[in-house]
Amino acid sequence: MKMKDVCKKTQLTERTVRYYVERELISPASEVAGGRTYLSFTEQDVEQLLAIAELRKLEFGIEEIIRMQHSPPRLERS
């Protein structure tokens, strides 16, 4: 899926999506052509972006989201 489609589905700006890629919150496939890098997103990437957007709305910081991705919280059994 192209950047334009991802932005439309997630209602995030291209700048925001590129920032999340730069911070390695998502890792879409990339291809270099004509000196330019093109990103190709999967449905899973879009779902991840939607989840990140929801966490940001809840005022979680980028560093907190990165920590969550690397060490997801565990639910304890009662």
pLDDT at 71: 80
Mapping DSSP to helix (H, G, I), strand (E, B) and coil, where does residue 40 land?
strand
Model confidence pLDDT, tens digit, residues 54-64: 999 999 999 99
Q: What is residue 61's predicted lDDT score, i.e. its pLDDT?
A: 95
CATH, range 3-70: 1.10.1660.10
So where are the chain's domains? 3-70
Query: Counting beta carbons within 10 angstroms of the beta carbon of residue 16, is it exposed (0 to 12), middle (13 to 18) or buried (19 or more)?
Result: middle
| pLDDT score, position 38 | 92
pLDDT digits (tens, 9 = 90+) for 31-54: 999 999 899 999 999 999 999 999
